[in-house]
Amino acid sequence: MEAVSGLFRYGQAHEWFERHHQELVGAFEGEWVAVTEGVIVDHDQDLNKLVHRLREGKIIPGPVYIDYVSREPLVALL
Amino acid sequence: MRIRGFITSRFAPPAPVLRAHFRNPHIGVQDYITFLLDTGASITTILDRDAIRLGLTLNYARRNLKPTPQRMVGIGGPAETYPLSSSELMFSLEEGGEHLERLNACLVLHDPERLGEEYNRVMLLPSILGRDIINKCAKLTYSQKRQIVLLEL
């Protein structure tokens, strides 16, 4: 099933993002970064613009991990 | 059947998260989402950052979805909420294969024009996996010391 293999690859992209976060901070702090298969496919300060380009390129929906790069961890009061 | 999550240090303090494939066949959206595991949340909720990814913008929601009757206020200020009935979450199982959960999720969208600069901070909030899913599990193991997040069905 495509969604299953996609979920595995999405997980790999997420883990890559976590492992390389410090390097990402150096290059992309304050930006949203899209990662798949160990490659940064795009980045932007505006998530809407980034997602629009990824959608135009038919990269999403798909196993691309997108997250905000920040030196400071998020303190979430939910 | 076991679904393994993990602990991310992107939050302070570190937080348990789970990955899933989200789909709502009625409105034709699907994509991968990382959820914050939150036993304090009643309902699994899709928040702004993942809504954008799914194509569920505020304009789309206002035109095409029926809002919940009550106006909701929570962290991040007033928000518009829309039920996402008959949604599906697919998880990978540790032993192989997948597990599908059907749920009535909730879409929570904030208005950038109302929130101003605060909207950029709200965008950082993750979608939430709530007790509507967690309560279906026989056992939840969470240990930051042992780096374990495990849902057993």
How does pLDDT run across B13-56, given as a tens digit for each residue?
999 999 999 999 999 999 999 999 999 999 999 999 999 999 99
H or E, element range at B91: strand B77-92
Tokens of B65: 């979805």
Tokens of B142: 């969470």
DSSP label at residue B92: E
Amino acid at A53: R
Tens-place pLDDT, residues B101-145 = 999 999 999 999 988 888 898 999 999 999 999 999 999 999 998
Q: Are strands B29-37 and B6-8 parallel, antiparallel or unpaired?
A: unpaired
Per-residue confidence at B79, pLDDT binned at 50, 70, 90?
confident
Q: CB distance from B73 to chain A under 8 Å?
A: no
Q: Distance from A10 to chain B by nearest Cα, in Å?
A: 7
Amino acid at B44: T
Q: CB distance from B128 to chain A under 8 Å?
A: yes
Taking CB atoms and an 8 Å limit, are B90 and A3 in contact across chains? yes
* Interface A-B: count of C-beta contacts within 8 A: 86
3-state SS, B21-49, equals: EEEECCCCEEEEEEEEECCCCCCCEECHH
Q: Are strands B139-143 and B6-8 parallel, antiparallel or unpaired?
A: unpaired
Taking CB atoms and an 8 Å limit, are B30 and A75 in contact across chains? no
Taking CB atoms and an 8 Å limit, are B52 and A51 in contact across chains? yes
